[in-house]
């Protein structure tokens, strides 16, 4: 170690110590876990390169996963500058988008949505499809991280190169989450994903929102103690293009068949979600894979029929117009509440209203004057 040269010894070394006394401390081995050396050299510090709109466009169209993920992050950003870039990017990607079938999947927690997506997603990837999974969960900003689109239940799918899973953006209000998910859908379609699965939880307004961005809406349910039909809201059933009774396996199988008949009896009297179609119930087991291929055939046949009848395109057009209106509403609302005059007068008007000195119409009219 001393290379034949006499080194200057540190102060802690006793005078009579031989050459084996520790006189210097070497760097340790740069290693990964367990002390094994990393195959690659020490990583250089890596600063994210900023991308131009053209870089994003090319990366997405080439199917570059890193750039796809970054494009989605851009789309999800709330900052004004990012919003402008995102719009420029979306505009360039739009001509390449729209070639997919968009499928919404809803159901109460525990009904097996994630397990179903794992099953159907892998089936589709095995059959030369490319599958993107999104989640719409407006509560995720409260729970910090969505339970939807969770990759633990999609263990195999999440590792496949033919699949892309994106958890819900934490956008706070449903409108914000929906806007981001719609734009994310454009990015993924432009990247060549031909099946888009949008998972949402079966509570509240989010089902209506997801219905308004998909071509086919699937309601997952399970057979239970016999009161499941009462628990199921008529309104939700009327959003669905198919009701799928999951967990039809083992001892549950027969019960699921009975439930299926009961649903079919009720569905007969309800308004179908898609013009000219009859919504029906089916059974499957996301766990064993039974019925997965059949439900895919149902969806494909549906797509074929509605494309032929023009209902498919009509629905997408209606959705685009609705989307535009939703964005105008969002913009105007923000303009209004961010206005200095509104901010200054809102508390006073509110108080006058509560004291009965003003009617709601007078209050609204006074505040709206701020914008004129």
Cα separation of 257 and 261, whole Å? 6
246 binds, among ligand GDP, Mg ion, none (CB under 5 to 8 A by kind): ligand GDP
Minimum distance of Mg ion from residue 302's CB (angstroms): 24
Q: What does 107 interact with, of ligand GDP, Mg ion, none (CB < 5 to 8 A by kind)? A: ligand GDP
Interface with ligand GDP by CB under 6 A: which range of 47-55, 120-128, 182-190, 246-254?
A: 246-254
Minimum distance, C-beta of residue 95 to ligand GDP, in the bound complex (Å) = 35
Rounded CA separation 298/175 (Å): 31
> Could you count the other beta carbons within 10 Å of the beta carbon of residue 98?
13
Q: How far is CA 102 from the centre of its chain?
A: 12
Strand partners, 246: 222
Site membership for ligand GDP, residue 229 (CB under 6 A): no
Task: Give CA–CA dist 212/162, Å, rounded.
Answer: 26
> Residues 216, 303: contact at Cβ < 8 Å?
yes
Decide whether 114 or 170 has the Cβ nearer to Mg ion.
114
Which segments of the chain are extended strands (E)?
Answer: 101-106, 131-136, 163-166, 195-200, 216-222, 242-246, 280-283
* Residue from the set 23, 77, 115, 264 that interacts with ligand GDP by CB under 6 A: 115
| Least gap, CB of 291 to ligand GDP (angstroms) | 9
Residue nearest to ligand GDP (CB): 112
Query: Binding Mg ion by CB under 5 A: which of 106, 114, 122, 209?
Result: 114
260 touches ligand GDP (CB under 6 A): no
What's the min distance (Å) between Cβ of 166 and ligand GDP? Answer: 16
DSSP-derived 3-state class of residue 143:
helix
What is the rounded distance in angstroms from the CA atom of residue 214 to the CA atom of residue 24? 67
Of Mg ion, ligand GDP, none, which one sits near residue 96, judging by CB under 5 to 8 A according to partner kind?
A: none
Selected binder of ligand GDP within 59, 104, 107, 169 (CB under 6 A): 107
Minimum gap (Å) between residue 288 Cβ and ligand GDP? 7
246 contacts ligand GDP (rule: CB under 6 A): yes
Of 106, 72, 125, 101, give the one whose Cα is nearest residue 195: 101
How far apart CA 93 and CA 100 sit, in angstroms, is 14
What does the binding site for Mg ion look like in residue numbers (CB under 5 A)? Answer: 113-114
């Amino acid at each position: 170690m001393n290379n034949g040269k006499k080194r200057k010894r540190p102060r802690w070394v006793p005078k009579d110590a031989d050459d084996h006394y520790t006189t210097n401390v070497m760097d340790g081995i740069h290693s990964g876990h367990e002390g094994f050396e990393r195959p690659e050299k020490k990583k250089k510090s890596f600063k994210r390169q900023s991308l131009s709109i053209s870089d994003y466009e090319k990366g997405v169209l080439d199917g570059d996963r890193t750039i796809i993920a970054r494009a989605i992050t851009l789309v999800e950003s709330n900052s004004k500058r990012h919003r402008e870039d995102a719009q420029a990017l979306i505009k360039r990607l739009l001509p390449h988008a729209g070639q997919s079938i968009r499928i919404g999947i809803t159901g109460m927690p525990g009904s097996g949505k994630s397990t179903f997506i794992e099953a159907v997603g892998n089936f589709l990837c095995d059959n030369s499809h490319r599958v993107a999974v999104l989640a719409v969960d407006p509560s995720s900003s409260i729970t910090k991280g969505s339970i939807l689109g969770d990759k633990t239940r999609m263990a195999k799918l999440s590792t496949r190169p033919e699949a892309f899973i994106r958890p819900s953006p934490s956008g706070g209000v449903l409108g914000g989450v929906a806007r981001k998910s719609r734009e994310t859908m454009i990015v993924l379609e432009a990247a060549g994903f031909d099946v888009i699965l949008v998972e949402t939880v079966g509570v509240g307004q989010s089902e209506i929102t997801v219905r308004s961005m998909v071509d086919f809406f699937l309601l997952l349910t399970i057979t239970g103690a016999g009161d499941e039909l009462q628990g199921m809201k008529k309104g939700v059933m009327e959003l669905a293009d198919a009701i799928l009774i999951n967990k039809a396996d083992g001892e549950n199988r027969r019960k699921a068949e009975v439930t299926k008949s009961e649903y079919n009896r009720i569905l007969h009297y309800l308004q179908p979600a898609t013009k000219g179609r009859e919504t029906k119930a089916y059974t499957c087991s996301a766990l064993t894979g039974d019925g997965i291929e059949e439900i895919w055939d149902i969806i494909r046949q549906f797509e074929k029929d509605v494309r032929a009848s023009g209902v498919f395109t009509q629905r997408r057009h209606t959705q685009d117009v609705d989307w535009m209106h939703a964005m105008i509403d969002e913009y105007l609302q923000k303009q209004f509440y961010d206005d200095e005059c509104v901010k200054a007068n809102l508390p006073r008007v509110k108080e006058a209203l509560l004291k009965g000195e003003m009617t709601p119409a007078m209050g609204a009219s006074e505040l709206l004057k701020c914008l004129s």
